[in-house]
C-alpha cells in the first residue's frame, strides 16, 4: 500500500472544496437548509430580548397579564426554533444520501477501470475503508459540521452585536477570550489533521487484516495460527486505540480552553453587571438579556472544537477518497511508448521485441522479460514452458493488457493491441487464470461473465460441456446455485472448470490459458483435455503449461528462460534438442524465483 501522505501542508478548506462537483446538484436544498438553520438559530437569540422586555416591563410593573403574554412569546419562539431545525434535517437527509451514493458509485467505477498494477500495490482493506468509513464521515460532515460552521459563525456574530448594543463594556469583557481561543483552534487544527489521517489509515489496515482472516480462514485453522492472527489483530487495535486516545486528548484540550475561557468571561460579566445594576448604571432586564445572550452563545462557541475535529476528519477522508479517484485509469494510461506504426504485421498473435519491468521495481533492476520475440500463427496453439518465476504468467497478462509492455509491441492479426480499446481487445481475447476467481453469484452468472451481453442458456450449457463442468447441473439449484464468496463451497477442480467455461463461453478468437488444468484429477483432466482440443482447433491460443499432458495440447512449445524465448519447436523436438526443456519436463526442476 502507498505510504501515508503528509497532511501538515495541506489546506482543509482547499481539500474539502473538491467535494463541490458532487454537492453542486443538491446545492439548492443545502443552501435552503443552511438558511433555515440560520433563521432558527437567530430566532433563539430573540428570546433574551423578550426576557429583557419581560423583566423591565411586566415583572417590574407587577403585570400578570404581561407576564403570561411574555411566556406565550417565549413558547412560540421555542416551538418555531424546534420546527425550523426539524425542517433543516428533512431538507438535507435525501440529497446527502444521494451525494454519498454517487461518490461510492464513482469510486467503484474507478476501481474497476484502474490497472492491475494499482491493485497489486493497494491493500483491499484500504480501498474498502475509503468506500465505507470515509464516505460515512463525509456524509456526516455535509449534514452537520458544514452547515453549523456557517450557522454558528453567523450566530456568534449576531449574538456579539446584540451584546455590544445592550452594553458595550460587558461586551468587551465577553470578547476578551477571543484571541486565545482562535490561537488554540489554529494549533489544534494542524495537530488534529495529522492524527486523524493516521487513525483512518490504521482503520484501513485493520479492515485488511479482518478481510484476509475471513478469506484465509481455512489456512489459519489448518495451521493452527488463530493465536498469532489474534495477536496481530490485537497489536493493530492497540495502535488504533492509542491514536484514538491521542485524538481524544487533543479534543479535550481544545474543549477545556474553549469552555473555560468563555465561562470565566461570563462570570466576570455577571459580577461587573451586578455591580452596575446595584449602582443604577444598568437595568436588571438589560443584564438578564445580556447574560441570556451570552449563555445562548455557549453551544455555538463550545461546539467549535467538535466541528473543527469533524471537519479535519472529513478533509482527511476527502484526501483519501481522491487518492484513489486521481489514479489514472487504464483508458488514459500511456501505451508502450513505441514509435513504430501500430498497424501492419503478420496475422496471429505476435510478440515483437517485448520487454517488461514492473512499475514499482527498484531503479536499475533488470527487466523480468527482455526482448521477447514469439509468433503464434492463426489457429495455432502454443504452449509456454519455463521454470517457476520465469515470467510466464506475466507474459500472458500482457496480451489482454492487464499490464503494459515496457518496450516493444504485441499484435493481434497485425494490429498493435495498444491501437485497440481495451473493451475491443478483451472481447477478442479470453483468459483463464491459474487461480480461478469466482464471485458471490450463481454458477450461471459466473460463467456468463465471459460472454457478450444477451448470452443465455445455450451458450452456458455449451461452455459447461466443453469445460466438463456438468456437475453444475447437479447442484441443489442447478446453475442458479450461488457458489458463495470466492467459490469456496466448491472444490479447486470445480472452480477451475467453471473458470475455463467462462473463458470459452464467448467463443473468443484468442485464448490465453494460465495452467488451466493444475487442480484437476487425472480422469477429469483427460476429459477436459479432450474437450479443449475441440476448442483449440477453432482458436489461436497461448497456454502456460507445467506438465507434459498440458504441453501435448499445443501444436508447438516455447521455452521461456532468463526473461527471453530460448527455444521454439514441437514437444518432441525440444525434448531431443534442448537439455533445459527436457529437464523441466522430467519434473525434477527446483522451484525458485
Q: Of the candidates 277, 297, 327, which is a domain's last residue?
A: 327
Going by C-alpha positions, the residue among 80, 278, 35, 269 that lies closest to residue 160 is 269
Lowest average pLDDT, out of 12-26, 87-101, 121-135, goes to 87-101
Q: Is residue 5 part of a domain?
A: no
Residue given cell 438559530 in the structure block: 41
Measured CA to CA, the distance from residue 578 to residue 545 in angstroms comes to 17
pLDDT value of residue 218: 66
Residue 512: is its pLDDT beyond 50?
Answer: yes
The mean per-residue pLDDT over the stretch 374-384 comes to: 90
Residue 326: is its pLDDT beyond 70?
Answer: yes
The mean per-residue pLDDT over the stretch 51-60 comes to: 72
pLDDT value of residue 587: 60
pLDDT value of residue 589: 43
pLDDT value of residue 5: 45
In a shared domain, residues 214 and 79: yes
Residue 243: is its pLDDT beyond 60?
Answer: yes
Residue given cell 530460448 in the structure block: 566
In a shared domain, residues 108 and 58: yes
In a shared domain, residues 432 and 293: no
Q: Across all residues in the chain, what is the average pLDDT?
A: 81
User: What residues make up the domain containing 79?
Assistant: 12-327
In a shared domain, residues 149 and 248: yes
Q: Of the candidates 278, 297, 327, which is a domain's last residue?
A: 327
Residue 346: is its pLDDT beyond 70?
Answer: no
pLDDT interval class at 95 (50, 70, 90): confident
The mean per-residue pLDDT over the stretch 55-78 comes to: 75
CATH number of 228's domain: 1.20.1560.10
CATH number of 480's domain: 3.40.50.300
The pLDDT tens digits of the residues spanning 306-323 come to: 788 888 888 888 998 998
The mean per-residue pLDDT over the stretch 566-575 comes to: 90
In a shared domain, residues 316 and 421: no
The mean per-residue pLDDT over the stretch 320-338 comes to: 70
pLDDT value of residue 550: 81
Q: Give me the phi and psi of 343, to 5 degrees please.
A: -130, 165
Residue 333: is its pLDDT beyond 60?
Answer: no
Q: Is residue 386 part of a domain?
A: yes
* Sequential DSSP letters for 146-170: HHHHHHHHHHHHHHHHHHHHH-HHH
pLDDT value of residue 445: 87
Residue 335: is its pLDDT beyond 60?
Answer: no
Residue 559: is its pLDDT beyond 90?
Answer: yes
Q: What are the b/e assignments for 278-298, b being 16+ CB within 10 Å?
A: eeeebbebbbbbbbbbbebbe
- Which cell numbers in the block locate residue 292? 441570556
Q: Is residue 332 part of a domain?
A: no
pLDDT value of residue 199: 87
pLDDT interval class at 341 (50, 70, 90): very low
Residue 31: is its pLDDT beyond 60?
Answer: yes
pLDDT value of residue 132: 87
Q: Is residue 334 part of a domain?
A: no
Residue 585: is its pLDDT beyond 60?
Answer: yes
In a shared domain, residues 105 and 184: yes
In a shared domain, residues 96 and 139: yes
Q: Which helix (H) or strand (E) holds 411?
A: strand 407-412
pTM above 0.85, yes or no: no
* Sequential DSSP letters for 69-109: HHHHHHHHHHHHHHHHHHHHHHHHHHHHHHHHHHHHHHHHH
In a shared domain, residues 319 and 371: no
Residue 188: is its pLDDT beyond 70?
Answer: yes
Number of domains making up the chain = 2
Q: Is residue 337 part of a domain?
A: no
Q: Of the candidates 292, 327, 362, which is a domain's last residue?
A: 327
Lowest average pLDDT, out of 239-253, 305-319, 343-357, goes to 343-357
In a shared domain, residues 234 and 191: yes
pLDDT interval class at 402 (50, 70, 90): confident
Residue 338: is its pLDDT beyond 80?
Answer: no
pLDDT value of residue 560: 92
pLDDT interval class at 486 (50, 70, 90): low
Query: Does 453 or 276 have the greater pLDDT score?
Result: 276
pLDDT value of residue 339: 39
Phi-psi domain of 407 (left: phi exceeds 0; alpha: psi -120 through 50; beta: other): beta
Measured CA to CA, the distance from residue 438 to residue 493 in angstroms comes to 13
In a shared domain, residues 291 and 210: yes
Could you count the other beta carbons within 10 Å of the beta carbon of residue 514? 22
Q: Is residue 335 part of a domain?
A: no
Residue 530: is its pLDDT beyond 80?
Answer: no
Query: Does 365 or 522 have the greater pLDDT score?
Result: 365
Query: Does 459 or 519 have the greater pLDDT score?
Result: 459
The pLDDT tens digits of the residues spanning 221-235 come to: 676 777 878 888 888
Q: Is residue 2 part of a domain?
A: no
In a shared domain, residues 154 and 17: yes
Residue 4: is its pLDDT beyond 70?
Answer: no
Q: Is residue 179 part of a domain?
A: yes
pLDDT value of residue 292: 81
In a shared domain, residues 355 and 487: yes
Measured CA to CA, the distance from residue 394 to residue 392 in angstroms comes to 5
pLDDT value of residue 375: 92
pLDDT value of residue 352: 92
In angstroms, the Cα distances linking 299 to 93, 160, 302 are: 23, 14, 5
In angstroms, the Cα distances linking 431 to 194, 379, 427, 499, 545 are: 44, 16, 10, 9, 14
3-state SS, residue 556: strand
Measured CA to CA, the distance from residue 568 to residue 413 in angstroms comes to 20
The pLDDT tens digits of the residues spanning 162-181 come to: 888 888 888 888 888 878 88
pLDDT value of residue 99: 87
Q: What are the b/e assignments for 565-574, b being 16+ CB within 10 Å?
A: bbbbbebeeb
First CA to last CA distance, the chain? 23
pLDDT interval class at 8 (50, 70, 90): very low
- Which cell numbers in the block locate residue 494? 470445480
The mean per-residue pLDDT over the stretch 401-422 comes to: 88
Q: Which helix (H) or strand (E) holds 568?
A: strand 564-569
Phi-psi domain of 563 (left: phi exceeds 0; alpha: psi -120 through 50; beta: other): left
Query: Does 496 or 518 have the greater pLDDT score?
Result: 496
Contacts for 37 with CB less than 8 Å, ≥ 6 apart: 84, 85, 88, 147, 148, 151
Measured CA to CA, the distance from residue 315 to residue 197 in angstroms comes to 9
3-state SS, residue 380: coil
Measured CA to CA, the distance from residue 239 to residue 241 in angstroms comes to 5
Amino acid at each position: 500500500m502507498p505510504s501515508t501522505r503528509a497532511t501538515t501542508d495541506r489546506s482543509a478548506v482547499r481539500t474539502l472544496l473538491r467535494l463541490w462537483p458532487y454537492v453542486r446538484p443538491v446545492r439548492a436544498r443545502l443552501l435552503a437548509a443552511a438558511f433555515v438553520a440560520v433563521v432558527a438559530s437567530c430566532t433563539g437569540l430573540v428570546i433574551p430580548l423578550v426576557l429583557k422586555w419581560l423583566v423591565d416591563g411586566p415583572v417590574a410593573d407587577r403585570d400578570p397579564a404581561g407576564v403570561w403574554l411574555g411566556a406565550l412569546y417565549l413558547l412560540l419562539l421555542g416551538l418555531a426554533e424546534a420546527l425550523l431545525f426539524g425542517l433543516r434535517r428533512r431538507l438535507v437527509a435525501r440529497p446527502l444520501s444521494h451525494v454519498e451514493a454517487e461518490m461510492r458509485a464513482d469510486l467503484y467505477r474507478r476501481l474497476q477501470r484502474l490497472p492491475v498494477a494499482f491493485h497489486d500495490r493497494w491493500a483491499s482493506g484500504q480501498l474498502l475503508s475509503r468506500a465505507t468509513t470515509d464516505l460515512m464521515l463525509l456524509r456526516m460532515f455535509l449534514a452537520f459540521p458544514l452547515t453549523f460552521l456557517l450557522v454558528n459563525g453567523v450566530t456568534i456574530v449576531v449574538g456579539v452585536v446584540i451584546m455590544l448594543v445592550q452594553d458595550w463594556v460587558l461586551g468587551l469583557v465577553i470578547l476578551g477570550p477571543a484571541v486565545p481561543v482562535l490561537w488554540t483552534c489554529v494549533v489544534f487544527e494542524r495537530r488534529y489533521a495529522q492524527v486523524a489521517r493516521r487513525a483512518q489509515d490504521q482503520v484501513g489496515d485493520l479492515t485488511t487484516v479482518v478481510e484476509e482472516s475471513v478469506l484465509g480462514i481455512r489456512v489459519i485453522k489448518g495451521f493452527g495460527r488463530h493465536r498469532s492472527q489474534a495477536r496481530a489483530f490485537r497489536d493493530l487495535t492497540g495502535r488504533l486505540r492509542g491514536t484514538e486516545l491521542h485524538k481524544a486528548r487533543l479534543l479535550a484540550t481544545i474543549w477545556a480552553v474553549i469552555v473555560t475561557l468563555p465561562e470565566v468571561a461570563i462570570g466576570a460579566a455577571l459580577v461587573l453587571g451586578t455591580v452596575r445594576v446595584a449602582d443604577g448604571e444598568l437595568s436588571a432586564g438589560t443584564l438578564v438579556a445580556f447574560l441570556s445572550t451570552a449563555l445562548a452563545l455557549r453551544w455555538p462557541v463550545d461546539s467549535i472544537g467538535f466541528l473543527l475535529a469533524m471537519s479535519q476528519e472529513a478533509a482527511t477522508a476527502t484526501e483519501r477518497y481522491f487518492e484513489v479517484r486521481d489514479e489514472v485509469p487504464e483508458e488514459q494510461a500511456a501505451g508502450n511508448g513505441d514509435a513504430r506504426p501500430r498497424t501492419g504485421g503478420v496475422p496471429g498473435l505476435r510478440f515483437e521485441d517485448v520487454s517488461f519491468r514492473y512499475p514499482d521495481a527498484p531503479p536499475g533492476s533488470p527487466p523480468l522479460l527482455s526482448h521477447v520475440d514469439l509468433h503464434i500463427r492463426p489457429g495455432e496453439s502454443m504452449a509456454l514452458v519455463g521454470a517457476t518465476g520465469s515470467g510466464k504468467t506475466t507474459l500472458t497478462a500482457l496480451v489482454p493488457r492487464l499490464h503494459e509492455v515496457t518496450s516493444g509491441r504485441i499484435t493481434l492479426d497485425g494490429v498493435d493491441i495498444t491501437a485497440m480499446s481495451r473493451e475491443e481487445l478483451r472481447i477478442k481475447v479470453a483468459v483463464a487464470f491459474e487461480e480461478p476467481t469466482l464471485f458471490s453469484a450463481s454458477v450461471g452468472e459466473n460463467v456468463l461473465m465471459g460472454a457478450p451481453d444477451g448470452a443465455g442458456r445455450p451458450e452456458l450449457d455449451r461452455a459447461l460441456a466443453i469445460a466438463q463442468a456438468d456437475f453444475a447441473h447437479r447442484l441443489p439449484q442447478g446453475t442458479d446455485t450461488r457458489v458463495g464468496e470466492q467459490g469456496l463451497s466448491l472444490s479447486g477442480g470445480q472452480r477451475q472448470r467453471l473458470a475455463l467455461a467462462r473463458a470459452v463461453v464467448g467463443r473468443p478468437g484468442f485464448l490465453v490459458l494460465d495452467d488451466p488444468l493444475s487442480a484437476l484429477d487425472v480422469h477429469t483432466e483427460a476429459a477436459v483435455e479432450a474437450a479443449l482440443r475441440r476448442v483449440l482447433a477453432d482458436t489461436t491460443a497461448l497456454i502456460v503449461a507445467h506438465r507434459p499432458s498440458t504441453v501435448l495440447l499445443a501444436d508447438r512449445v516455447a521455452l521461456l528462460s532468463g526473461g527471453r524465448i530460448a527455444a521454439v519447436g514441437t514437444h518432441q523436438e525440444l525434448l531431443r534438442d534442448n537439455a533445459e526443456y527436457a529437464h523441466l519436463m522430467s519434473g525434477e526442476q527446483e522451484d525458485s524465483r
